[in-house]
Amino acid sequence: MTVSSPDAGSALPTLQGTLRDCTGSRAPTEGVKAGDLVIVDAADLPKRMADALIAANPAAVINLSRYATGSVPNYGPHLMLDAGIALFEASGERLPKGIRSGKSARIADNGELIVGKKTFAQCERVRREDINAAFDGAQQRLTANTDTYFGNAIQFVHAELPLLVDGIGAPELGDIMAGRKVLIVAPSPDTRERIANIKSFMREFKPVIVGVGAAADTLTELEYLPDVIVTDPTHVAAETLRSGACVILPAETDGFAPGLERIQDLGVGAMTFPATTDSELDLAILLAVFHDAETIITVGAPLEFDDIFAQSQVPDPTALVARMKAGSRLVDSRVIEHLYRSERGGAKIAWAWAILGLLVTAATIVVIVGLGGQDAFRQNLQAVWQTFIDMVRRLVSAADGLVARG
């Protein structure tokens, strides 16, 4: 993108304003007022975030990440420079604990961020020519990677047409997945967290569990034994392979499967899945599709546009083809997390209103009876009140149990 507004590379006088820390905020301009000095943490700052910052009209924005890494052609920094907002980078810096929104701060002409009399970070002024260079390089890489990626995807479709159309070559698993929800767990740094966040879903629907690669060991450690394991056997513990799961080995088109000798040594039965890709996750998705899974939930390794084309090496296009084949049946586990979190929140609110209504009713009875002045009735009230208290306690206990199970 070429811009024609005045160059931002010349030296700035000292900028002063109220500091606003927006690094942990869902809304990038929460609390920001005109003339503020805003701190964000957004690599390859996107246009949407830039528009919000421009509307807030800060004097300067300090980014703890790179405005433009050169991996994707993002327009955000250009728009902010066009709007006259001074941009600084403190890439790699961590926001000190002593910095809080609302303090008076200044950015000296040498780039020091000073709060009070203390220097908290060293910032570098962002120059337009650097932004332009990163944008142009990213655009060229994106074009080249796109051509290569989709060219490889077309070749894969041509080579695997029988598999993609009719599932020819896929292992036969019977009706284990037919009409059921299938949970496919792939290795990732947050696999345990993702599984913990959908335990209510797993308890309620009891999905068919497919462990991919080393994630099969993680599932076993969490006491969720996989029904199917898709892996090179050298990546999984012997105990997991012997757990009774159906083991599927990715194989080359000639039938050779890496790790087959280990399976034979362990005395474990296994089936091969010959294909022109060795992506265990993608083969697991196709396996669920061909066996008529109702819904396919993936944990880990999401496919995102920026992740595909930002890589220096163009990734295997099987991921895109497999997900297109799965279509509307495929969802990421984070969607399930959000749904169950919303339901739990609604349940808590409903219980709170129910208990509040009971308390209001009880208070009304107490006032009425208190004004009556009859001793016998007061004694009866004590018994009724105690019964009511016991009932409320049971309701609270039931609500706690419901939330705990959620």
For the ranges 96-105, 142-151, 160-169, the maximum mean pLDDT occurs at 160-169
Which CATH number is associated with domain 161-336?
3.40.50
Asked if pLDDT for residue 198 goes beyond 70, the answer is: yes
**pLDDT score recorded for residue 4:** 35
Integer angstrom CA distances of residue 403 from 189, 286, 382 = 27, 36, 32
Asked if pLDDT for residue 3 goes beyond 50, the answer is: no
pLDDT tens per residue across span 5-19: 444 444 456 789 999
**pLDDT score recorded for residue 145:** 82
| Nearest one of 249, 246, 256, 224 to 235, comparing CA atoms | 249
**pLDDT score recorded for residue 2:** 34
Task: Flag whether the pTM goes above 0.75.
Answer: no
For the ranges 206-220, 254-268, 347-361, the maximum mean pLDDT occurs at 206-220
| Average per-residue pLDDT for the chain | 83
Asked if pLDDT for residue 373 goes beyond 80, the answer is: no
| Nearest one of 75, 70, 86 to 124, comparing CA atoms | 86
Task: Quickly list DSSP for 84-104.
Answer: T-EEEE-TT----TT--TT-E
Q: Is 28 helix (H, G, I), strand (E, B) or coil?
A: coil
Asked if pLDDT for residue 365 goes beyond 90, the answer is: no
Architecture per CATH, domain 15-133, reads as Alpha-Beta Barrel (3.20)
